[in-house]
Amino acid sequence: MSHMYETKRREYTQGGLRRADLANSPYTQFERWFNQAEAGGVSDPTAMVLATVSADGQPSQRIVLLKQLDERGFVFFTNYNSRKGRELAGNLNASLLFPWQMFDRQVKVCGRVEKLQRSVSEAYFASRPRTSQLAAWASPQSDVIASREQLQEKYNQLEQQYADGDIPTPEHWGGYRVVPAEVEFWQGGAHRLHDCFRYRYENNQWSIDRVGP
């Protein structure tokens, strides 16, 4: 089977991006764009594509949700025994991508990952809905399972087990922080002449360069 996808081309006409418009910090610039995405109706603006690499060099991607951002980096939570968790255990380099297509924008983050302190993960886990807490226990994320029914049965068992008390944080579950070395802001432009600026952290400060789109 063969299918060509070049027929649905369009121009990117939502406006340019200039160096004078950029904040000195990528975190401040990210917050500006995030707030615009959220106010503009972007579906799930915290959704970000996380890319990790296996020991044999095979990249893998999946969508996770941004849960916190400060000047230390971008935080998400997951199962440490999942494929992404296993790959991060062997290679701390990772990349994030925020695809805000409604505004013809992308934000790409490249850096290294660090685990959050256990107390931070436990505090966040306690704030989650009970259904999400139970799902974290029930799902052997990335492992083969026999059926949907098996997963539901495990969930039901846990629901009964913890019916009268708090649900503890699984040892295999917690948070990561992606500490960026580079943050790239891409704004679509007409005639494929997009605008792209890259922040790089060197010598304890951020530098900004325009890069070819």
The residue assigned the tokens 């990249």 is: 59
Which residues in 155-164 are b (16+ Cβ under 10 Å) and which e? beebeeeeee
On whether 97 is known to bind a ligand per the annotation, the reply is no
On whether 132 is known to bind a ligand per the annotation, the reply is yes
On whether 106 is known to bind a ligand per the annotation, the reply is yes
On whether 22 is known to bind a ligand per the annotation, the reply is no
What phi, psi does 119 have (nearest 5°)?
Answer: -65, -35
On whether 95 is known to bind a ligand per the annotation, the reply is no
Q: Is the dihedral of CA 66, 68, 70, 74 positive or negative?
A: negative
CB-based burial label for 37 (10 Å; 0-12, 13-18, 19+):
buried
**72, 192, 200, 210: the active-site residue:** 192
Residue 105 in contact with residue 195, Cβ under 8 Å? no
On whether 77 is known to bind a ligand per the annotation, the reply is yes
On whether 130 is known to bind a ligand per the annotation, the reply is no
On whether 142 is known to bind a ligand per the annotation, the reply is yes
On whether 118 is known to bind a ligand per the annotation, the reply is no
The rounded radius of gyration (Å) of the Cα atoms in the chain is: 20
For the question of residue 192 being annotated catalytic, the response is yes
On whether 162 is known to bind a ligand per the annotation, the reply is no
Is 92 strand, coil or helix?
coil
User: Token pair of 160, please?
Assistant: 């009964």
Task: Give the residue numbers of the binding site.
Answer: 9-12, 62-67, 77-78, 83-84, 106, 124, 128, 132, 141-142, 186, 192-194
Task: Give the residue numbers of the binding site for substrate.
Answer: 9-12, 67, 124, 128, 132, 192-194
> Could you give the residue numbers annotated as active site?
192
Task: Give the residue numbers of the binding site for FMN.
Answer: 62-67, 77-78, 83-84, 106, 141-142, 186
